[in-house]
Amino acid sequence: MQTMTRLGPTLKGFHHFGSVLPKATPLRSTSEPTSSTLVWTRRVQTTSCSFKLKDLSLPNSSWSSEMMRLYEHYNNQCKVELEGGGKREGPWKRMPSYDRFFKKEDSGRLSSDKTILSKARLFIRSIRELGAAFEFVIFNNSKEQKCVGIFQCGPLLEGPPGHVHGGAIATMIDTLAGVHANQLSGSSVTVYLNITYHSPIPLGSTVLIESSLDKKEGRKTFLSCKVTNTDGSKVYTETAALFLFIEIHNLIQEL
């Protein structure tokens, strides 16, 4: 069964802006910063997630032994030990994850509705109970142009009895692909996710979500994603995704 989700220019492509976007570079031929780039840089400094917020991609007591095993596997590749001692950057980088995009003190400046923005939370991190819903960590490999997510499916994500809701799976695919697109091409939003569901995922499972670059065409970034069990022997879903680079400060100014 296939489903086409057209999300358009929404915030769904921004799930990890607190760590991703400040480092993203717009697709431009010149190395000199433009006025819009400088405006965006200043806005990131005042509106993005503060690094003093709790990083929710770190291990907690709800993580299963399989979740921890995979986390340590990739995390150990973030730093490589040198022969003479010391360490250098490895091929993988862990992407921090927070529960909101805007800080509470920004709500009055960005919108007349202070109540909404003061309570706003990124959907995928809005459930506070450990292990109840989305437990995940994302690692990026810029050299291989790949991204991998380790996802533990909590009981509040139930759809079919005993299995994960298809929308929750799509949310995780969009999250991972959004992080990957932002790393590859700068601030990007989802245009479409074309998801083929091959097999249901049991609640409580730990799965791998992998994203790889197919091609880039101007502002467009085409990705392929798949969700598998932890050894890769079973494929749960396959996805073709398209993301579009945008000048994100224009969207922020509209709030």
Q: Catalytic residue numbers?
A: 174
Structure tokens at 182: 């932002």
Three-state SS letters, the chain? CEEEECCCCCHHHHCCCCCCHHHCCCCCCCCCCCHHHHHHHHHHHHHCCCCCCCCCCCCCCCCCHHHHHHHHHHHCCCEEECCCCCEEECCCEEECCCCCCCCHHHHHHHCCCHHHHHHCCCHHHCCCCCCCCEEEEEEEECCCCEEEEEEEECHHHECCCCEECHHHHHHHHHHHHHHHHHHHHCCEEEEEEEEEECCCCECCCEEEEEEEEEEEECCEEEEEEEEEECCCCCEEEEEEEEEEECCHHHHHHCC
Structure tokens at 12: 């769904």
* Angle (CA) 246 251 252, round 5°: 125
